[in-house]
Amino acid sequence: MPIFKNIVHKEQTQILVWQITETLEELKNGIELTEASNLRLKSTNSEIHQKGYLSVRHLLKILGYSDSDLFYTPDGKPHLKDGKRISVTHSFDFAAIIVSDFAVGIDIERQRDKIIKIAPKFVGKEIEFIDKKKEVEMLTVLWGAKESLFKIHPDGGLLFKEHLPIEPFQLSDGKTKGWIIKDKYYESFCIYFEIIEGYTLVYAVN
């Protein structure tokens, strides 16, 4: 299908969300991939990941970019040749991108009970404000917020539990604040989130 959601955040930042309902062959239509991207697509065994990869390219096309405008640095982070900041994400039935003049990160996750089991790996002091009645939903926001911040940090080596604290929030807030605190790097970001079709979309904006 075409765009599921289009969010314009303060003019300099745009978020596009794609709901993946197409077959793999349908997603290949209308998209021209570089040789490197073709090789990467073919090396991916999961059809779900292949669909997500192609859906991101459709979102780029909507914003006037081609696959050749996107490149990856050795740390795996995507960049646009025109200097705009970009972050991409996909999970099962959804893909999303954020493009901005500023540092940004984005994540979309399906809400699943298994996040409770892995919570001790990424939840620090935030455990104090997690509502047990809405544990899956709040933990998914928390994970998405930290994943978005992780994508922003230029040097890697971050520990979700220690270096990416998130301020208290309620699901009805739709926003909170997060920090990247590591060595000499100390910076705050606005975190926005919403639940769509059983998924949680989170993005961080400088």
The CATH-assigned architecture of domain 108-205 is Alpha-Beta Complex (3.90)
CB 54 within 8 A of CB 44: no
Global pTM reads 0.95
Same fold, 3-102 and 108-205: yes
pLDDT means per 10 residues in the chain (206 residues)? 86 95 95 94 94 97 97 91 97 97 97 98 97 97 97 86 97 98 93 97 96
Per-residue confidence (pLDDT) for residue 157, from 0 to 100: 82
Residue ranges covered by each domain of the chain: 3-102, 108-205
CATH of 3-102, one of 3.90.470.20, 3.40.190.10, 3.30.230.10, 3.10.180.10: 3.90.470.20
Neighbours of 88 (CB within 10 A): 24
Per-residue confidence (pLDDT) for residue 1, from 0 to 100: 56
Per-residue confidence (pLDDT) for residue 87, from 0 to 100: 98
Per-residue confidence (pLDDT) for residue 166, from 0 to 100: 98
Rounded to the nearest 5 percent, the helix, strand and coil shares of the chain are 35, 35, 35
Per-residue confidence (pLDDT) for residue 76, from 0 to 100: 84
Take residue 100 and report the two structure tokens written for it: 């901005």
